Amino acid sequence: MDQEDFCQALGLDPDAKYESTAESERLGSRLGRLAPVAADRAIVPQAFRVDLLSAVTFNVIMGNGDAHSKNYSLLLGRRGEVSLAPLPVAVEVSRSTVRSARGDRARSVRTARWCVRSRRVGATVRVR
């Protein structure tokens, strides 16, 4: 099984691991560009979308500001099927960081905003 990070999958230079605002405004977000294409090649497209959004959400909640395009990777199967590779970077946090991430950061990440982002990558959204 082969693996390629999101920079490779998008044909970007390895040094371009951080997405710029200008790139996002010009081309759309990397997540939004990659997710639909990769999900279409996944064995279970909806599961791929959920896995990807779960990984991104985890990094946001944990306050991992270094979750760039080289920290997310695709596993490529023999028949061309795609799945999300496990997150390679463990975020080391203290209890106070987790409390802060759950508090201030969690409040700033609104449910509606995540619903919009989820729909952009083709995920079905249910808010409870």
Enter the pTM of the model.
0.67
pLDDT tens digit string along 7-50? Answer: 999 999 999 999 999 999 999 999 999 999 999 999 999 999 99
Q: Which of 5, 51, 66, 104 is catalytic?
A: 66
Active site residue 40: no
**Helix (H/G/I), strand (E/B), else coil: 84:** strand
Q: How far apart are CA 127 and CA 75, in angstroms?
A: 30
Tell which residue, 9, 46, 59, 45, has the closest CA to residue 30: 9
| Percentage of residues of the chain with pLDDT beyond 70 | 68
Q: Counting Cβ atoms within 10 Å, is residue 20 exposed (0-12), middle (13-18) or buried (19+)?
A: exposed
Tell which residue, 42, 13, 46, has the closest CA to residue 124: 46
pLDDT band at 61 (very low <50, low <70, confident <90, very high): confident
**Which tokens sit at 38?**
């990769």
